[in-house]
Amino acid sequence: MVRTIGFSILALALVGIVPSTVQAADDELGFDVTGGFFSKYVWRGQLITDDYVFQPDISVSYKGFTGGVWGNLELTDYSDNEGEFTEVDYYFDYSAATGIDGVGFSVGAIHYDFPSGGGIEGTTELYWGLDFDAPLDPYIVVYHDIDEVSGTYATAGVSKSFANFIEGIDMEVGASIGWGSSEYNEGYWGVSESGFNDLTVSAAWPTALGETGWTFTPSISYVTLVDNDLRDSDAFGTASDHFYTGLSLSTSF
């Protein structure tokens, strides 16, 4: 469920490919490959796995269109699925400029599949979003579940990149806040009212590995639940605050 198609380069560093809008569509076929090890799997404030996971992602893009597959591989027996993919997500995105200077848009779909079962049904979301070529690169993305949950989740955020923060190493920081409709919160949290869900603050340090074409990215993230009713819910355990780290390798060709 971590497939979050957004607009922040920080998200690219943390969880794999994230389409970048406000740019000309590439007329050449491109491929992106990412593999990340994370100390936890947290999605929209929900603690999915409180232990180490591996999350690979592969995508292909052409003229603003992107399609790909993302997965979550359990590395421990936290959920009795060690060595298994507990989630595989398929996504399709189209990103382009709006015609308004400095404003880009993205539309797409994500299908979430849970091959390990456990009584979790797959579902599908459609989404749209806007991002702005402005200080802190603000963006907003709205996801509409059209299957199991039939609710809406929206996230808005900002990010900032610092080139050569340390010689040869960039730094990217960002923050986002998520909101869920009453249907969304009921489906995931058992809370029947709409409200803000999660506040996330992250930092990443992408480092080019010489001329290999690969990038190595350590990252840290802090996630906290905002709404008191969600904090009181035990749908995803009793903890309301999560800190986790990651190490990713990525390349494009």
> Which two tokens mark 34?
């990412």
Give pLDDT tens digits along the chain (253 positions). 544 444 433 444 344 334 344 444 568 899 999 999 999 999 999 999 999 999 999 999 999 999 999 999 999 998 888 999 999 999 999 999 999 999 999 999 999 999 986 677 899 999 999 999 999 999 999 999 999 999 999 999 999 999 988 888 899 999 999 999 999 999 999 999 999 999 999 999 999 999 999 999 999 999 999 999 999 999 998 899 999 999 999 999 9
Q: Is residue 141 part of a domain?
A: yes
> How confident is the model at residue 166, as a pLDDT?
87
- CA angle 245-229-181, nearest 5°? 85
Cα 65-144-58 angle, rounded to 5 deg: 35
Residue 37 domain-assigned? yes
- pLDDT attached to residue 20: 43
The answer to whether residue 165 is domain-embedded is yes
Q: Is residue 192 part of a domain?
A: no
Structurally, the chain folds into a number of domains equal to: 1
Quick check: helix, strand or coil at residue 42?
strand
Integer Cα distance of 106 and 136 in angstroms: 18
Does residue 134 sit within a domain? Answer: yes
Whether residue 130 lies inside any domain: the answer is: yes
Enumerate the β-bridge partners of residue 152.
Answer: 144
Using CA of residue 199, residue 240, residue 126, residue 72, what is the dihedral sign? positive
For 61, the domain range is: 9-173+203-218+248-252
Tell me which residue of 250, 242, 246, 248 sits closest to 50, measured CA to CA: 242
Half-sphere exposure of 174 (CA within 13 A, CB side): 24
229 found inside a domain: no
Length of the chain equals 253
